[in-house]
Homo-oligomer: A and B are copies of this chain.
């Protein structure tokens, strides 16, 4: 019995010196619908009473890459068809961001075409829901902070890379694109100058179809030509949308 106790003590000594930090991934999923920017949140339960909305995410498995972990976690909770995903930032400066253990979170942000998305039926009685970006409730851990950083990044990226298209359906109206930029960047733009600029890049394709909306002059549907965009990038092209 003394021996067992001795072994355990040595074990504890070793454990104390070992790194005891967990690593998680969290994802912001952005969607654009009804002329507004939304983020996907899940309801998380701690114990019996405490309920919190949180970003989808969880611990990374030993044999899985970070981005695979994000994909897996998202798939467990939703049926999202991501059109874009990128690492955002790693949150590990606040040692007590998770009150239970030291957890470092590698945050990602992703875009989806929200108009064409099914949220998975409740499993485990967990709820998944879109929240308008300016109506986000207090979230678990430091997830409000993560989300804030994600929105900043999205705004910045929108101005120098054509990721706006990843929030829209395959075929979209010019007015949709324009609204998306105005709404997310919270700025006014001149409709005509915006159109001129985007068209001048030559990265859009006209389709033969027209919008099904029955008000005003019928509008052509456009498609983003990613191939063409990549070609241009090779030649040194630089996408940029700026406003006054």
For A8, the closest partner residue in chain B by CB is B7
- Residues of chain B contacted by A7 (CB below 8 angstroms): 4
CA distance A20 to B3 in the complex (A): 27
Chain B CB within 10 Å, residue with most, of A3, A19, A68, A89: A19
A179 at the binding interface (Cβ < 8 Å): no
CA distance A20 to B68 in the complex (A): 17
Are B87 and A65 closer than 8 Å at their CB atoms? no
- Give 30 pairs: A residue, B residue, CB < 8 Å, sorted on A: A3-B4, A4-B4, A4-B7, A11-B11, A19-B22, A19-B23, A19-B59, A19-B60, A19-B62, A20-B62, A21-B23, A21-B60, A21-B62, A23-B23, A23-B92, A60-B92, A62-B102, A63-B95, A65-B92, A65-B93, A65-B94, A65-B95, A66-B90, A66-B92, A66-B104, A67-B93, A68-B93, A87-B89, A92-B106, A104-B106
